[in-house]
Structures are given as structure tokens and as C-alpha cells.
Amino acid sequence: QKEVEQNSGPLSVPEGAIASLNCTYSDRGSQSFFWYRQYSGKSPELIMFIYSNGDKEDGRFTAQLNKASQYVSLLIRDSQPSDSATYLCAVNPRGISGNTPLVFGKGTRLSVIA
């Protein structure tokens, strides 16, 4: 059973602070990793993807991947109240070679306090 684990939260941070969201996965052969943001009652929106070890930055967002530790994180700098949402970590266990679908964590609820 391929698993993706996230702390359900809520994670509360003050406006302007850095929010750090973490995710661990069970399949060591996993190839691609994604972060989605989901507002209440809406569908998930892709905000970052990362395929290689290290950091990937896009605006206020940084995704970090450590395959040896089976750990992926998302940092949100200068957090805004509009960032308040549930953040879903998703993992593709075997990339293009497998028949295992994209696996989602249950999500971490982030609350940015003004």
C-alpha cells in the first residue's frame, strides 16, 4: 500500500511569517512529487511540482525534496491570509513505468492569521 502522510493541522502562522508544510511517503521508488492547494468546497489547484532532490523555488513558494529521507516539504514565505487553505501533497509512486496512480495525502490545513 503506497502511503503519503501529512500532519492534518491546523497549522497557524501569523501574516508575513514562513509556513512550513511537510509530507513523507512510503514508496522509495517514487519519482515525482506535487503540492496542491484546496480552498474549502473547491477543487485542488496545482502550485508546485518537483522531480529532483533539492529545492525548487517559484515566487513565494519553495518545494524541497529529500529522496533519501522520503520527505518533501513546501515553504510559503511572507504568508498571506489568502494562503489559508488545505495543502495536499501528492506522489507518483513509480513515474511513467508503473500502474500505480497518483497518491494523495489527507492534507494539512493552514491558517494565516492577520
Partner 1 sequence: EAGVTQSPTHLIKTRGQQATLRCSPISGHTSVYWYQQALGLGLQFLLWYDEGEERNRGNFPPRFSGRQFPNYSSELNVNALELEDSALYLCASTGRVGTEAFFGQGTRLTVV
Contact positions toward partner 1, by CB under 8 A? 31-32, 34, 36, 41-46, 49, 88, 90, 92, 94-96, 99-107
DSSP 101: P
Compare residues 41 and 114 and give the one whose CB is closer to partner 1.
41
Which class for 60: exposed (0-12), middle (13-18), buried (19 or more C-beta within 10 A)?
middle
Compare residues 79 and 103 and give the one whose CB is closer to partner 1.
103
- Closest approach, Cβ 101 to partner 1, in A, equals 4
- Closest approach, Cβ 102 to partner 1, in A, equals 6
Cβ atoms of 32 and 91 closer than 8 Å: yes
